[in-house]
Amino acid sequence: MKKIFLKSIVIISLLLEITVYSANINYNDFILNQNNTAEKIRFSAGKNISSEKAKQIALSHARVAERDAKITKIQLGVENGVAVYEIEFYVNGKKFEYDVNSNSGEIVKVK
């Protein structure tokens, strides 16, 4: 009985080590685009900017204070195989749309 218990503990700890190890490396993932088809996208662990940072980049580029903007969308998506934050907001009825690269913080598209 002790051997079975010990074997179970060893197997569980090995599985946990594999899970922790795989969470710390770069990995390929799939994300659904607007046409509901899967696109392969590369994420770099620990190198992505936050959605808050992406929002600040877009607002700064538009020269708009956050208190003056009505944020309607902040969503992680794909643009030409690159992970981007899609940000949409309104200021005095005018619509602003930005795509911000989630790795570099570079503005990819402005509408």
Q: What does residue 67 show for φ and ψ, rounded to 5 degrees? A: -65, -20
Range with lowest mean pLDDT among 25-29, 49-53, 89-93 = 25-29
100 pLDDT higher than 60: yes
The share of the chain scoring above pLDDT 70, in percent, equals 58
Q: What does residue 40 show for φ and ψ, rounded to 5 degrees? A: -80, 135
pLDDT of amino acid 102:
93
Return the higher-pLDDT residue of 67 and 29. 67
- All domains in the chain, ordered by first residue: 26-110 (3.10.450.40)
32 pLDDT higher than 60: no
96 pLDDT higher than 50: yes
User: Measured between alpha carbons, how far is residue 94 from residues 53, 86, 111 in Å?
Assistant: 22, 17, 11
Predicted TM-score (pTM) of the model is 0.61
